[in-house]
Amino acid sequence: MQPPSIAIVGATGAVGRECLSILQQRNFKHAEGPDGIKLLASSRSAGTTIPYRGQQLPVEELGPNSFRGVKLAFFAAGADTVRAFAPIAVASGCTVIDKSSAYRADPNTPLVIPEVNPEALATLRGKSGIAAVPNCSTIILLIPLTPIRKAFGIDRIVVSTYQAASGAGAAAMEELESQTRDVLAGKSAQPRIFKEPCAFNVFSHDSAMNPTTGQNSEEQKFTTESRKIWNDPTVKVNATCIRVPVMRGHSESVCLTLTQPATESQFRAVLAGAPGLTLIDDRSNNSFPTPLKVSGGDNVLVGRIRPDDTQEVVAGDAGAAYRGWNLWICGDQLRTGAALTAVKIAELLQREDGHR
């Protein structure tokens, strides 16, 4: 079968540009010629160009006729845009891979992390439809936690996030840069994208707050998305999400309660052989994951692996086994948390449909 014609919706945004870069880096197979790949965005960006594989690709205005002949579309746009145009794309025979929140909770839409639940794509085999990419923080959390859960079970997850400006898009990244310049020049930071100054500051995540529960929507996503991806309605997640003055790369402090206690050698062995992650855990040199170390990389970095002796400890012939464990993890929000996961989903679909 011939490779498909593809499109990127939101091609001029941070995730859209990252998606285009990853397609080039991974030599993703798509149709050749002027109709092989379409870059779609708002009318403000129409007529500009973006470099790709040695040429300048024009950006077209997104419209109802944009998906004629397109078989695969990456949506890197807001939820409202996705709700308006994804059904049009599907009706034209296109498979949509959506990074927004528009369809994540839809029971008929697979929510997929390729390293975690690739089997969820079975519903799209050989036909058009929508595959949803989870929230960036959920992806970064579940890539290392899934092998732990398979080996020992997980009763409870407590996670605190330290989320970069990149999570709010290109304009937020520009705001952090401009505010940093202003503050260093003795001026006051002027918030536009965020409600609070982001330079030299830390504040609660800027998503909508539930006035009854006190959770913001970013924190709630950890529970709803983890339950769907793991197909387990009993998963318990206690999340606190914070925005920090980092350009790209989210960090998460994680405290686990396992179903079955594990020794340190057992716990580390499970992580060492898992896909999509790299261990950086050098206690002697105090070297551990950081947002800078993960920036531009494909794997989630895992470190600060240590038992939580405030929880149950079981003595055994192989040494002490602990139900409680602590981790520090970092992932590139624009890559692992967004564009790379979308491209990996597309690669899985290509293999299943016979495209090489």
Which of 136, 198, 241, 330 does the annotation list as catalytic?
136
Question: What 8-state DSSP symbol labels residue 292?
Answer: H
Which of 19, 30, 250, 330 does the annotation list as catalytic?
250
Question: Which has the closest alpha carbon to 144: 271, 261, 334?
Answer: 271
Contact 12, 41 (CB under 8 A): yes
DSSP-derived pairing of the beta strands 154-163 and 250-262 = antiparallel
Helix, coil or strand: residue 177 = helix
Contact 89, 70 (CB under 8 A): yes
Beta-bridge mates of residue 129: 95
136 catalytic, yes or no? Answer: yes
205 catalytic, yes or no? Answer: no
Degrees (nearest 5) of the Cα angle 141, 143, 145?
65
Question: Which has the closest alpha carbon to 244: 209, 316, 315, 194?
Answer: 194
Distance between CA atoms of 5 and 153, rounded to whole angstroms? Answer: 42
Q: Residue 219: what residue type?
A: E
**Catalytic positions, written as ranges:** 136, 250
